[in-house]
Amino acid sequence: MIRTTGFAICIATILFVGSGLAWSQSQRAESAEVKAEALEQSSSSEGDQTHPSPSGVITKPEAQAVDPAGEMPLDDALTCLARTIYWEARGEETAGIEAIAHVVMNRLGHEGFPDTICEVVMQGSEQGACQFSWWCDGLSDDAQEEEAYFLAKEIARKTLNKQLQDRTGGALYFHRKDVTPQWSAEYLRTVVIGRHIFYKPDDGAAK
């Protein structure tokens, strides 16, 4: 009887601790999503360079608690930005990954594009006529490499927090170096970073 009681107490303790950890992760994720939405709204104002207050900054544990397996619906700013970074630039050096993140944020702050990150990355049709190739390639959008997705969320966090310098020169467009799309002749090349070439319109107007 004593052994049975002790075993029951042990199981109850494990379940209690486990539920507490799950609650903590849930709370962190919720906090990150709320902060990301506020940062997104701030960044959607063209030219707004206001940095968040310390209480408004997304922390690393908060960011990593969001979409931990890389398979949640694309319905919050942090997940949409991280998934775009992951699919467009995973495997690149940090500077190349950060550059892709800044194209998304530059579009967010430009009057020619939508006012939320998810709308920016999903602009156009999901089947063939989109702005970001990962969104309309007909393949699964779930992240498949844990380490790469961890890094993508960390860069997404820092980008939303305005902790990273935009090295793209305000670019709104990019393409891989091994292709030459027709539209590239219409824009001003700003920089080459990693596997991508970045562009912006001569007159500042999106097309």
Question: How many domains does the structure of the chain reveal?
Answer: 1
Q: Residue 17: its pLDDT value, please?
A: 40
Domain that holds residue 24: 2-44+52-200
Q: What is the pLDDT of residues 18-44, one digit of tens each?
A: 445 566 989 999 999 999 999 999 998
Asked if residue 173 belongs to a domain, the reply is yes
Asked if residue 23 belongs to a domain, the reply is yes
Distances (CA, A) of 151 to 13, 43, 64, 113, 172: 34, 22, 9, 26, 23
Asked if residue 193 belongs to a domain, the reply is yes
Q: Residue 2: its pLDDT value, please?
A: 45
| Under 8 Å between Cβ of 102 and 165 | no
Asked if residue 105 belongs to a domain, the reply is yes
Q: Residue 135: its pLDDT value, please?
A: 86
Asked if residue 206 belongs to a domain, the reply is no
Q: Residue 137: its pLDDT value, please?
A: 85
Low-confidence ranges of the chain (pLDDT < 70): 1-23, 46-48, 125-129, 204, 207
